[in-house]
Amino acid sequence: MFKRSLIATLLAAAAVPALAQEVTLKFHHIWPPQAMAPVRVITPWCDKVKAESNGRIACQLLPAMSGGGTPAQLVDRIKDGVDDLTITLPGYTAGRFPAMEVFELPFMTNSAEVAAAAAWDYLQKHALKEFPGTKILATWVHDEGYIHTASKQVKTLDDFKGLKMRAPTRQTNKLLAKLGATPVGMPVPAVADAISKGTIDGFALPWEVIPAFKLHEMTKFHTQTDPSRPALYSAGFVFAMNQAKYDSLPADLKKVIDNNSGAALSRQVGKIWDESQAPGRKAAADRGNTIITISAAETDNWIKASAPIYDEWTADMDKRGLPGKQMLQDARDLLAKYRK
C-alpha cells in the first residue's frame, strides 16, 4: 500500500511541471509598435492566449524586424524555428507561394472580411502544402489598395507613364506594368526611404498602413478606384506558427492556440483591416493631400488593361502542375459565397 501511494505521489509530482509548463513564443513582425496591426491584432491575440492559458503562454514581441533578417525571410524564419510566430505577406517572396496569389490578382474583391473568409477555405483546399514546417493560424487580405504619388496626380491610364511605382507582390508588379508604370518591388518598411531618395515616384498601398510609416507626409496625391468596382488590388497575409513549436505544446495549450485560430479569426482580422481604411484616409486628408476617386468608366479602363494577368496566372499554375482555371474559379466562387 505504501509503495502504491509513493508511486502515485511521484507520478503526481511529475505531472506538475507539465501542467505548469510556461511557453514564451517569439512573435516577429514588420510593423512599428504603434501601427494598427500590433495594436488591434497582435497584442490582443497575445493577451487573449495568455489569459486563456492562465498565463502559461506568453509572447515576446519583436516589432519592426527587431529580431533580425528581412521581411522576405520571415516565412523561412518560422519554418526553421528561428521565430515562433509571425504575420507576414507570402508575396514578399515572389513566386514561392503561387497558389495563394489568386487573392492578389487585380480587381477581385473590395472587402477584406469577405476575402479573408474565402482565403481560409481556399487555403485548406489548394495551398497548405506551400507552407511546410508551418502551421497557418489565419489568413486574410488587407483593405482596398490604391495609388499614392509624391508629385504627379494619377487620374487616367496615361498618367502612369514614366512613374516608378512600388508594389508589394509579383502580381501587383504585373498590374502596375499593365497600367503603364515601371514597377519596383519592395516590402513596406523600405518605402519611406525609397520615396525620399526618389527611387520611386509613388506606391501601391492600402490606407491602413500609411500613417504607421508616415507615408502621407511624403506624398501629395492619392488615387482611389470607383467604389462600385472591386478594389484595384489586395495583398494576402498569413498568421504563421512554427509547426514544431506547436507540436511541442501540451494538449491543453494546443487547444488554446486552436481556439484562437482558423476561419473565425481570419474573418475577424479581415474586418479589422476593413475598419482601418477611414483613419488612414483621414491622416492624408487632415494634411491637406489631394484624394482623387476616378470614375467607374475610367476604372473599367484599368480593369480591361489588367485583364490578361488572369490568363497569365492560370497558365503559370498549369505549368506548375496545378489546376489554374479551377483554382481561380474556386476563389471567385468563395468570394461570391461570402459576399452574400
Domains of the chain are 18-143+235-275 (3.40.190.170), 145-233+287-339 (3.40.190.170)
* 36-82 confidence digits (pLDDT tens): 999 999 999 999 999 999 999 999 999 999 999 999 999 999 999 99
Residue 20: what pLDDT?
57
This model's pTM is above 0.85: yes
Residue 9: what pLDDT?
43
Residue 181: what pLDDT?
98
Cell of 266: 481570419
Residue 340: what pLDDT?
86
Residue 123: what pLDDT?
98
* 177-198 confidence digits (pLDDT tens): 999 999 999 999 999 999 999 9
Residue 26: what pLDDT?
98
- Of 164, 161, 202, 204, the residue nearest 179 (C-alpha): 161
Residue 129 contacts by C-beta under 8 Å, 6 or more apart in sequence?
A: none
Residue 284: what pLDDT?
97
Q: What is the mean pLDDT of the chain?
A: 94
Phi-psi bin for 317: left (phi > 0), alpha (psi -120 to 50), beta? alpha
Residue 172: what pLDDT?
97
Residue 11: what pLDDT?
46
Q: In the chain, which stretches have pLDDT less than 50?
A: 1-3, 5-19
